[in-house]
Amino acid sequence: MITIKSQREIELMRTAGRVVAEVLHVLEQAVRPGITTAELDKIAEKHIRKANCQPAFLGYQGFPASICASVNEEVVHGIPSLRKLKEGDIVSIDVGAVFQGYYGDAAATFPVGEIDEESLRLIDVTRDSLYRGIAMARSGNRLTDISHAVQEYVEQHGFSVVRDYVGHGIGNQMHEEPQVPNFGKPGRGPRLQAGMALAIEPMVNSGTWRVETLQDNWTVVTLDRKRSAHFEHTVIITDGEPVITTAL
Ligand code: MG
């Protein structure tokens, strides 16, 4: 069942979302050659707790950190480690925070120093595909209007969308119904209405859309080991423009 959020719930989600946005902003400034993804995780956890929130990912199905940090060919769910970021890398950071039981979830891919043209384009297309999806998140539209808009934009630019992982409803749980795929025909699935909350999160690969999970049972990588980017926002449907709770 897709829940409709009350005004009070929306306010709590906006608080959680704002903290997630702040964390991503702080991490964007911190990303540079030589920093480890474990250091980024520490910065995130400190910020989340200082804002009276809890890290949503820490302990989730046993996940050992407050952020996911996925480098280059890693798509999602990378575990922060002592790996140092290098000039030319790209790093996808996914952050979740809970405020008084309500969730915010967002992700962004950042360049580490100077990166090649293709990686820059991958990042831009993935970010823009998220906004194409968000533009369809309006009451009266159908769920897969979002999915279709993302896929069409990504494929027009010669990249591919991951099929195995999708966006999701969100509220007083991190993952609620419905699933929000980044591919598929338009005009399918539930009709969107004011008060629905969705985490829309295109994962875009520069080569094949196929992925596999590494031996650590978390890190998802592209099958061809080409690079991948990930952008996500938590969005609440209204009778007008969607509210992006995880935007600053
Ligand atoms: Mg998510």
What's the pLDDT tens digit per position in 112-139?
999 999 999 999 999 999 999 999 999 9
Q: Is 182 inside a domain boundary? A: yes
Per the structure, the count of domains in the chain is: 1
For ligand 1, the distance from its centroid to the CA atom of residue 180, given in whole angstroms, is 10
The answer to whether position 196 is within a domain reads: yes
Residue 156 lies in a domain: yes
Average pLDDT, the chain: 98
Based on its alpha-carbon atoms, the radius of gyration of the chain, rounded to whole angstroms, reads 17
* Residue 146 counted as domain residue: yes
Task: Give 220 Cα–ligand 1 centroid separation in angstroms.
Answer: 14
* Distance from Cα 38 to the centre of ligand 1, integer Å: 20
Identify the band that residue 34 occupies on the pLDDT scale cut at 50, 70 and 90. Answer: very high
pLDDT on residue 131: 98
For residue 184, is it within any domain? Answer: yes
Q: For position 105, what pLDDT does the model report?
A: 98
What's the gap in Å between 32 CA and the centre of ligand 1?
25
Checking 64-67 for CB contacts under 8 A at 24+ apart, the result is 65/38, 65/41, 66/41, 66/95, 67/23, 67/27, 67/40, 67/41, 67/93, 67/94, 67/95
Residue 129: per-residue pLDDT: 99
**Which residues fall inside 5 Å of ion ligand 1, going by CB?**
105, 199
Whether 75 and 204 have beta carbons less than 8 Å apart is answered as: no
Q: Is residue 106 part of a domain?
A: yes
Give the Å distance between the CA of 167 and the centre of ligand 1: 6
Average pLDDT over residues 183-189: 98
Task: Give residue 28's pLDDT.
Answer: 98
In this structure, is residue 92 part of a structural domain? yes
Provide the pLDDT for residue 204: 99
Interacting residues of 101 by C-beta distance below 8 A, sequence separation 6+: 12, 172
68-89, pLDDT tens digit by residue? 999 999 999 999 999 999 999 9
Using the mean position of ligand 1's atoms as its centre, give its distance from the Cα of residue 113 in Å: 26
User: Whole-angstrom Cα distance, residue 97 to residue 10?
Assistant: 15
CATH number of the domain where residue 131 is located? 3.90.230.10
What spacing in Å lies between the alpha carbon of 171 and ligand 1's midpoint?
11
Residue 55 domain flag: yes
pTM for this prediction: 0.98
Residue 78 CA to ligand 1 center (angstroms) comes to 14
- What pLDDT, on a 0 to 100 scale, did the predictor assign at position 66? 98
Q: How far is the CA of 168 from the centre of ligand 1 (A)?
A: 6
* Domain encompassing residue 115: 7-244
Where are the alpha helices (H) located in 36-116, listed in sequence order? 37-50
**Dist. CA 81 → ligand 1 center (Å):** 21
